[in-house]
Amino acid sequence: MTHASPTASPASSPRRGARFAALATLAVAAVLPAVAHAAPLRIGMTFQELNNPYFVTMQKALNDAAASIGAQVVVTDAHHDVSKQVSDVEDMLQKKIDILLVNPTDSTGIQSAITQAKKAGAVVVAVDANANGPVDSFVGSKNYDAGVMSCEYLAKAIGGSGEVAILDGIPVVPILERVRGCKAGLAKFPNVKLVDTQNGKQERATALSVTENMISAHPNLKGIFSVNDGGSMGALAAIEGSGKDIKLTSVDGAPEAIAAIQKPNSKFIETTAQFPADQVRIALGIAIARKWGATVPKAIPVDVKVVDRGNAKGFSW
């Protein structure tokens, strides 16, 4: 069954994300002559995790962009361990990196490492999630908008009335913002009642179990919002196993979610897509521009996009 997409606000137009991608390209192009006549730039990026297709896509885009300017790249995976992430950054600084791109597993816990990086003379740009401390810029999705858009879509899909639940995740800023946006979106529908919020930890197996429990506890449940596509796949399995007509929406735009949305009679009806490759390209462009003396924005929000059965075919990060 096809559901009409909610109307996105002008601030959520994909065109702005495209403009930022163009800005990043221009920033890199502007400094290429300087880069070409200097020692290769050394770029370090620390990820909160690399077992997620979203971050794997981001890593590939970083490697490709860095290769295009002859830069050297060091990448680390914190495995959601802030102590490891701090240690990883310290190791990168020993290698004399020029640029640190940081995808924090804990925005507060990483602050000491960012301070060290700045003292060492590195440009620091946070990607996907912001970090406390003296970052030069932050590039990330409009996560609040993503929550609003996905939950408005869900509320409309269930006819503006009924019980819904939130499948929550790790309490980092992007996830918190999606939940806050979701609640704001649902608040526009007085006959939609949020009856439960449970943490699926953004993992398929945990989300499956948690969703089964929510369905059992709330027999009249009509919709579920998942904070990410990883958890949504577990939620989808639970919904399908229940045999109930429960609609599911999410955030990310991951390939597996896009495929699920396109299946006939799928309960997974929408994901609000992010653009991880664009985020890291923009971040790198901004970092290089800052390295060579440009004044850069403190924050660059990247737009998100509703993807449903009507436009899922051919969509990719």
CATH number of residue 160's parent domain = 3.40.50.2300
pLDDT digits (tens, 9 = 90+) for 165-200: 999 998 889 999 999 999 999 999 999 999 999 999
HSE-CB of 102 using CA atoms within 13 angstroms: 39
* 195/266 same-domain check: yes
pLDDT digits (tens, 9 = 90+) for 123-169: 999 999 999 999 999 999 999 999 999 999 999 999 999 999 999 99
Does the residue 5 lie in any domain? no
- What's the structural domain count of the chain? 2
* 260/280 same-domain check: no
**What is the value of pTM for the model shown?**
0.87
* 279/136 same-domain check: yes
* 149/255 same-domain check: yes
> What number of other Cβ atoms are within 10 A of residue 70's Cβ?
13
HSE-CB of 50 using CA atoms within 13 angstroms: 12
Structural domain including 197 reads 143-273
Does the residue 315 lie in any domain? no
Strands (E), 206-284: 221-226, 247-252, 268-273
